[in-house]
Amino acid sequence: SRMGVTVETAIAGEQLGEPVGSIHVAPTDALRSTRVEAEELPLVIDEVPVLAMLGTHAPGETWFLGASELRVKESDRLAALVAGIRALGGHAAAESDDLVIAGGGLRGGVASSGGDHRVAMAFTVGSLAADRPSEVEGMEAAAVSFPGFVETLRSMGAGIEVVG
């Protein structure tokens, strides 16, 4: 609810040592930008890519402070997020180890996942609300953590085409 959405989860079991279930996300009154402090960041470090994409559609600026850990994940996620959001027609910058995202939406474009599964999925989800069709290079990386990602989005009505 911090960014203006309601998230409900229902854990159905466990698979490969990880909980599995369903997530229902619904808007509340209005999408809002937020500021994630450095001490909060470890609690959402793996969610930063998708939260950053949410931030591109929220009015104002969304900040992730002290995000240096993003530089040493499967890729330099901080650099990948800034480059990808810009490539998709949004506004993002890295100020030291802080990530700042300016709302206003995405115009559309071509972004590279850099081979990072979380970045690939985040760019794909964020692009669904872009003004024009977008392309995410390196989508095969999504299979690392979510083998049925594209098919799941298609089953929910997303118009996704896999090229190459």
Strand order through the sheet with 61-64: 35-36, 61-64, 98-102, 91-95
Q: Which of 46, 76, 97, 131 is catalytic?
A: 46
- As beta bridge partners, residue 101 has 62, 92
The answer to whether 123 and 86 are in contact (CB under 8 A) is: no
Cα separation, 76 vs 69, whole angstroms: 9
Q: Is 46 labeled as catalytic in the residue annotation?
A: yes
Cα separation, 130 vs 124, whole angstroms: 10
For the chain, helix, strand, coil in percent to 5 are 35, 25, 40
| Residue 129, both tokens | 């609300």
- Alpha-helical (H) ranges within the chain are 41-44, 48-56, 77-87, 117-127, 149-155
Which residues belong to the active site? 46
